[in-house]
Amino acid sequence: MRKKKYVEDTRYKVAHREALIGCGLAIINILWWYGFAYGLGSKPPEEYTYILGFPAWIFFSCIVGFLVMVLLVFIVVKFVLVDMPLEDTEEEEEVHSA
Domain range holding 58? 10-83
User: Is residue 93 assigned to a domain?
Assistant: no
Question: What's the confidence (pLDDT) of residue 97?
Answer: 59
Question: What's the confidence (pLDDT) of residue 81?
Answer: 92
Q: In this predicted model, what pLDDT tens digit does every residue of 25-71 receive, in sequence order?
A: 999 999 999 999 998 888 899 999 999 999 999 999 999 999 999 99
Buried b / exposed e over 21-51, threshold 16 CB at 10 Å, is eeeeeeeebeebbeebbeebeeeeeeeeeee
Question: What's the confidence (pLDDT) of residue 85?
Answer: 85
If you average pLDDT over every residue of the chain, what do you get? 88
User: Is residue 88 assigned to a domain?
Assistant: no
User: Is residue 21 assigned to a domain?
Assistant: yes
Name the residue with higher pLDDT: 29 or 6. 29
**Is the pTM above the cut of 0.95?**
no
